[in-house]
Amino acid sequence: MNTLEKDVIVADRLTKSFGAFTAVDRICFSVAGGEIFGFLGANGAGKTTAMRMLCGLSKPTSGSAQVAGFDIARQPEQVKRNIGYMSQKFSLYEDLRVWENICLFAGIYGVKEKEIRRKTTETLDRLGLARERNTLVKDLPLGWKQKLAFSVAVFHEPRIVFLDEPTGGVDPITRRQFWELIREAAERGITIFVTTHYMDEAEYCNRVSIMVDGRIAALDTPLSLRASFRAQNMDEVFRRLARKATRE
Amino acid sequence: MKHAAAHTFLSFIKKEFFHIFRDVRTMLIIVGIPVTQILIIGFAVSTEVKQVPTAVYDPLKDASTRAVIEQLRASELFDVRTMLEHPDEIDRVFERGEASLVVVFGEASVQLVVDATDPNQGTTTAEYASNIIHTAGASPLQIVPEVEMLYNPELRSSYNFVPGLMGLIFMIICAMMTSIAIVREKETGTMEVLLASPVKPAHIVVSKMIPYFLISWVIFVLILLLSVFVLNVPVSGNLVWLNVLTLLFILVALSLGLLISTLVKTQVAAMLVSSMGLMMPVMILSGFIFPIESIPAALQAISAVIPARWYIAGAKKLMIEGVPVYRVAKEMLVLAGMATGIILISLRNFKTRLE
């Protein structure tokens, strides 16, 4: 963690309201370059809404945020060019072959064809999917699909990658391998912004924020959070905070 | 940058073709529906008549009428079963279904009464019968056959169905398939990934429409070939303008598909909305099955907003009547206006729905 650059995500009183309901309420935080940032919260706490704003998918009601140095409300195009995104649902095309998916998404981000060819081989080798190059994605096991989806999301070497519950429904062994990929990407300097339900995964993060009722209730390293809540593990920290929630 | 954007756009179109060609259900709808529809129409226009149940009312009973009856008997086409004794019996044989043709001899004429429930069968029957009577009637009686069509005096012949059928097929392929294709990406989650990428939303949508646009055009050419060479439906108008009219209609259908995709969240809903909301009106209110002139005034007013109504009217004029293009200018303008309006509304919807 000695190579941290300056902050690549800065949120300042970022707010999103839907009518009278305030889904995200004046959150402030910043994420340093190369950091693995865990974005936790119970269902409905507002984390997906916050993440969608940071990705330029939805406009903030008030407040502001910079992602990769660009304003999310005024320069969503530049923001999108500098991030990778892996949605909660599966984010590859099931009826396209493995290499077709890679080519399509890399092409969207303007990766040169020669570069795509070289890196595809490299990526598939690392994932152990070299022989599945021509396989339709729907024929791959779920764990492989998720790892592939992550590799596609960081294929163009974005400044930041947003992962929305990337390990949902995946077995523990694959989850470990998945986090291995995340760590490798972070070492290459890609900032990781990840939401998760699994508290053991929170331990892998450099810093963790916990959202309750649209606000950030706690933000620190897993170690300090455990210490200040005098908790055995992150699960306990999370449950103490989430108990204070007033909305479903 | 421009070059890269064009490259991405092309790869999106390619991807869309993969989605279509690799999905059995999509292929079944796109290929199966036009083929089966054309086969059904093909059978419907089958002009073969054989052993038509025939009754004869012959008050004269002279040599010349007997000669005609013998000729009818001798032909394989007619099965002369009943000899009527009284003109009142004519209606009765039709009601009981005992005859589809009644030959009525009069002093100086022969009247043919034909069951035209099936107009093609009716016309053909009448034609064959009058031919036979002509040949057999080289007699001093100087027979002049008069034909009277029962049940369907308008005699809408089946080839009027071809323009209607095209209207229906394009609605299915363009509107339904496009809406399903877009909604599928919402359902699977890939749409969100695309929207979080630098691709422009308009590019996403247009790249979805282009493959269906091209496929529809191929199908249109196919239908034209089939109707000319298999169904013997003439294309008497200007082929270029017929293409222009059709492409305009395809554009309307595609934009309707886009509009639906902005309103619903699931593929099932997209299917339901497009079949109930688009196909039913096409069947009922477009003149495809019921002539516009014969439906109630209120429904006629509603039919004015059904794009297929304008398309079918224009296509009939261009294909069957062979009118010069200025006579379909109104239809073309209406379709062009509809396409522009719907595309504008749905693009706006598409953007706001992302929030």
Q: Which of B167, B223, B182 has the alpha carbon at shortest distance from B346? A: B182
Position A4 scores a pLDDT of 47
pLDDT band at B153 (very low <50, low <70, confident <90, very high): very low
| Of the candidate ranges B97-101, B266-270, B350-354, the one whose mean pLDDT is the lowest | B350-354
Q: What CATH number did the domain enclosing B141 receive? A: 3.40.1710.10
Please identify, among B150, B171, B196, the residue that sits at the C-terminal boundary of a domain. Answer: B150
Q: What is the pTM of this model?
A: 0.77
Residue B336 pLDDT more than 80? Answer: yes
Q: Are residues B329 and B189 in the same domain?
A: yes
Beta bridge partners, A9, equal A31, A67
What are the percentages of helix, strand and coil residues in chain A, rounded to 5?
40, 25, 35
| Of the candidate ranges A20-29, A80-89, B28-37, B217-226, the one whose mean pLDDT is the lowest | B28-37
Task: Report how far apart the first and last C-alpha atoms of chain A are (Å, whole number).
Answer: 37
| Residue A91: closest C-alpha in chain B | B190
Question: Between the ranges B146-150, B264-268, B332-336, where is the mean pLDDT highest?
Answer: B332-336
| Dihedral of alpha carbons A202, A205, A207, A209, sign | negative
- Helical segments of chain A, H only: 47-54, 76-81, 98-108, 113-127, 142-153, 172-187, 199-202, 222-228, 234-242
What are the angstrom distances between the C-alpha of A185 and each of A150, A152, B183? 10, 12, 33
Position A224 scores a pLDDT of 94
Q: Does A87 touch chain B (CB under 8 A)?
A: yes
Position B137 scores a pLDDT of 60
Position B49 scores a pLDDT of 66
Domain count, chain B: 2
Question: Between the ranges A14-23, B81-90, B143-152, B214-223, where is the mean pLDDT highest?
Answer: A14-23
Q: Are residues B146 and B239 in the same domain?
A: no
Q: Are residues B63 and B208 in the same domain?
A: no
**Alpha carbon of A77: minimum distance to chain B alpha carbons (Å):** 6
Q: Are residues B277 and B324 in the same domain?
A: yes
pLDDT band at A2 (very low <50, low <70, confident <90, very high): very low
Give the pair of three-digit tokens for residue B7.
Answer: 């490259």
Please identify, among B150, B168, B196, the residue that sits at the C-terminal boundary of a domain. Answer: B150
Q: Could you tell me where the beta strands, DSSP code E, fall in chain B? A: 52-57, 78-84, 101-105, 109-115, 144-150
What whole-number percentage of chain B has pLDDT above 90? 17
Position B299 scores a pLDDT of 84
Residue B209 pLDDT more than 50? Answer: yes
Element containing residue A39 per DSSP (H, E) = strand A36-41
Beta bridge partners, A215, equal A212
Q: Does B135 touch chain A (CB under 8 A)?
A: no
B8 vs B198: CA distance, rounded Å: 10
A7 vs A68: CA distance, rounded Å: 8
Q: Are residues B203 and B278 in the same domain?
A: yes
| Residue A16: closest C-alpha in chain B | B355
Position B154 scores a pLDDT of 42
Residue B39 pLDDT more than 80? Answer: no
| Interface contact B193-A87, CB threshold 8 A | yes
Q: Are residues B134 and B259 in the same domain?
A: no
B49 vs B64: CA distance, rounded Å: 25
Q: Are residues B166 and B192 in the same domain?
A: yes
A217 vs A245: CA distance, rounded Å: 10
Please identify, among B120, B150, B180, the residue that sits at the C-terminal boundary of a domain. Answer: B150
Q: What is the pLDDT of residues B239-290, one digit of tens each?
A: 899 999 999 999 999 999 999 998 888 999 998 898 888 878 888 888 777 7
Q: Are residues B11 and B136 in the same domain?
A: no
Task: Yes or no: say if B162 and B226 are a contact pair by the CB < 8 Å rule.
Answer: no
Q: Which of B339, B191, B331 has the alpha carbon at shortest distance from B256? A: B339
| Sequence-separated (6 or more) residues with CB below 8 Å from residue B177 | B26, B29, B30, B212, B257
Q: Look at the block and give the residue holding tokens 């009577």.
A: B133
Q: Does B266 touch chain A (CB under 8 A)?
A: no
B262 vs B182: CA distance, rounded Å: 9
Give the pair of three-digit tokens for residue A69.
Answer: 């140095």
- DSSP sequence for B53-76: EEEEE-SS--HHHHHHHHHHHHST
Residues A95-118 have a mean pLDDT of: 93
**How many CB atoms lie under 10 A from the CB of residue B326?**
8
Position B335 scores a pLDDT of 94
Residues B62-76 have a mean pLDDT of: 83
Position B43 scores a pLDDT of 62
Q: Look at the block and give the residue holding tokens 């109104």.
A: B330
| Dihedral of alpha carbons B49, B51, B57, B61, sign | positive
Residue B139 pLDDT more than 60? Answer: no
**Alpha carbon of A93: minimum distance to chain B alpha carbons (Å):** 7
Position A78 scores a pLDDT of 92
Q: Are residues B140 and B15 in the same domain?
A: no
Q: What is the pLDDT of residues A9-43, one digit of tens each?
A: 999 999 999 999 999 999 999 999 999 999 998 88
| Residue A52: closest C-alpha in chain B | B196
The alpha carbon of residue B132 and the mean position of all alpha carbons in its chain are separated, in whole angstroms, by 33
Q: Does A111 touch chain B (CB under 8 A)?
A: no
Give the structural domain span for B214: 2-44+157-352
Residues A64-75 have a mean pLDDT of: 94
**Residue B163, amino acid:** P
Q: Are residues B29 and B83 in the same domain?
A: no
Q: Which of B19, B189, B190 minimises the CB distance to A88?
A: B189
Task: Domain A34-57+79-242: give its CATH superfamily.
Answer: P-loop containing nucleotide triphosphate hydrolases (3.40.50.300)
**Alpha carbon of B1: minimum distance to chain A alpha carbons (Å):** 9
Tell me A165's DSSP state.
S
Q: Are residues B200 and B243 in the same domain?
A: yes
Q: Are residues B292 and B310 in the same domain?
A: yes
- DSSP sequence for B24-48: HHHHIIIIIHHHHHHHHHHHHT---
**How many CB atoms lie under 10 A from the CB of residue A103?**
21
Position B156 scores a pLDDT of 40
Q: Which of B22, B190, B198 minimises the CB distance to A91?
A: B190
